[in-house]
């Protein structure tokens, strides 16, 4: 036959045989602990769940406020960007207008330069022909012109013109 070992006299070994009693004692300890925590919270007015809810609502309010500020700043940036685009387009239009005017002015300057060159050539041609005409006809240059009795001398006419200009 099998011999049974004697049971030890330790307190844990004594309760090991009655699991219902151990569970009942543990339940009573847990219930007393929960009751003590509840009484302590209600007596001190410190409820972490309420604080967490309040903190969460404050964070949500701050987030909403920050979001509204971002929206306002974004709208402001959009408006500023649109104004900058409009100003840039206006400057580009003015630049194109100035370029067109400059091109027109350069064309006019070129035409006038050509005309001045042509006139200079014509004047030089006239000077040369006048010089050659005087050089080939020395008797015409030596003979004084005869003035009519009505014609005033040249110096008197210039003096009268100068006086008229001074009056006018």
Within a domain: 67: yes
11-20, 85-94, 153-162: which has the minimum mean pLDDT? 153-162
pTM: 0.39
Within a domain: 123: no
Determine the pLDDT at residue 59: 93
Q: Is the pLDDT of residue 110 over 80?
A: yes
Q: What's the total number of domains in the chain?
A: 2
Q: pLDDT band at 148, cuts 50/70/90?
A: low
Q: How far apart are the first and last CA of the chain?
A: 162
Within a domain: 130: no
Within a domain: 149: no
Q: Is the pLDDT of residue 123 over 60?
A: yes
Give dist(CA 103, CA 19) in Å, integer. 109
Alpha helices in 137-153 (DSSP H): 138-142
Determine the pLDDT at residue 43: 79
DSSP state for residue 4 in the 8-state scheme: P
> 99 with 62, same domain?
yes
3-state class (DSSP) for residue 2: coil
Within a domain: 37: yes
| Nearest C-alpha neighbor of 49 from the set 37, 61, 33, 62 | 37
> 62 with 102, same domain?
yes
> 69 with 99, same domain?
yes
> 38 with 72, same domain?
no
Within a domain: 137: no
Q: 30-44: per-residue pLDDT in tens?
A: 999 999 988 887 777
Q: 42-69: per-residue pLDDT in tens?
A: 777 766 667 788 889 999 999 999 999 9
Within a domain: 85: yes
Neighbours of 55 (CB within 10 A): 11
Average pLDDT, the chain: 81
> 68 with 90, same domain?
yes
> 41 with 68, same domain?
no
The b/e string for 121-160 (b: 16+ C-beta within 10 A; e otherwise) is eeeeeeeeeeeeeeeeeeeeeeeeeeeeeeeeeeeeeeee
The parent domain of residue 35 ranges over 18-47
Residue holding tokens 């959009």?
78
Within a domain: 119: no
Determine the pLDDT at residue 54: 86
């Amino acid at each position: 036959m099998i011999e049974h070992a004697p049971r030890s006299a330790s307190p844990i070994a004594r309760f090991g045989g009655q699991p219902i009693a151990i569970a009942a004692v543990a339940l009573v300890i847990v219930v007393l602990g929960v009751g003590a925590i509840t009484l302590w919270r209600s007596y001190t007015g410190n409820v972490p769940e309420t604080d967490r809810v309040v903190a969460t609502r404050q964070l949500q309010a701050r987030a909403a406020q920050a979001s509204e500020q971002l929206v306002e700043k974004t709208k402001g940036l959009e408006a500023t960007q649109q104004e900058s685009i409009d100003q840039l387009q206006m400057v580009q239009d003015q630049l194109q207008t100035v370029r067109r005017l400059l091109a027109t002015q350069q064309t006019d300057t070129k035409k006038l330069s050509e005309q001045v060159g042509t006139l200079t050539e014509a004047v030089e041609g006239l000077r040369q022909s006048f010089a050659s005409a005087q050089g080939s006809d020395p008797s015409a240059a030596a003979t004084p012109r005869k003035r009519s009795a009505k014609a005033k001398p040249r110096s008197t006419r210039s003096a009268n013109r100068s006086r008229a200009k001074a009056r006018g």
